[in-house]
Amino acid sequence: DIQLTQSPSFLSASVGDRVTITCRASQGISSYLAWYQQKPGKAPKLLIYAASTLQSGVPSRFSGSGSGTEFTLTISSLQPEDFATYYCQQLNSYPITFGQGTRLEIK
């Protein structure tokens, strides 16, 4: 199985900050990586697919990059509604796996 390791697991930041979350795969997954945002009690929401393509309707302050084994999700200027948990997901091979999550909290 392909393991995804996100770092950091917890991040404290302020409104307006630029933050970056990293996702490392245990083996190459080309660009078959997606990023999701989840708020408490809600279903995950797709932000980025194919490593760097912004899902329709997602604000442009979100961006993704990477290929192979290392990927990043960047939020250029944090807004109050961005405080949530973020997950990466690989769809290169079965079983599909998710990272353990990065919890982003207000400083």
Partner 1 sequence: EVQLVESGGGLVQPGGSLRLSCAASGFTFSSYWMHWVRQAPGKGLVWVSRINSDGSSTSYADSVKGRFTISRDNAKNTLYLQMNSLRAEDTAVYYCARESLPENAFDIWGQGTMVTVSS
Residue ranges in contact with partner 1 by CB under 8 A: 32, 34, 36, 38, 42-46, 49-50, 53, 55, 87, 89, 91, 94-101
Of 32 and 71, nearer to partner 1 (C-beta) is 32
The residues near 79 (Cβ < 8 Å, ≥ 6 apart) are: 15, 59, 61
CA distance 62 to 79: 11
What's the closest the beta carbon of residue 14 comes to partner 1, in angstroms?
25
Asked if the bond preceding 95 is cis, omega within 30° of 0, the reply is: yes
Min CB(20)–partner 1 separation in Å: 20
Token pair recorded at residue 89: 């997901």
Strand (E) or helix (H) holding 11: strand 10-13
Distance of CA 100 to the CA centre of its chain: 11
**Of 26 and 77, which has the nearer Cβ to partner 1?**
26
Task: Find the shortest distance in angstroms from Cβ 21 to partner 1.
Answer: 14
Task: State in angstroms the smallest separation of the CB of 36 from partner 1.
Answer: 8
Nearer to partner 1, 36 or 62 (CB): 36
Q: Which is nearer to partner 1, 13 or 91 (CB)?
A: 91
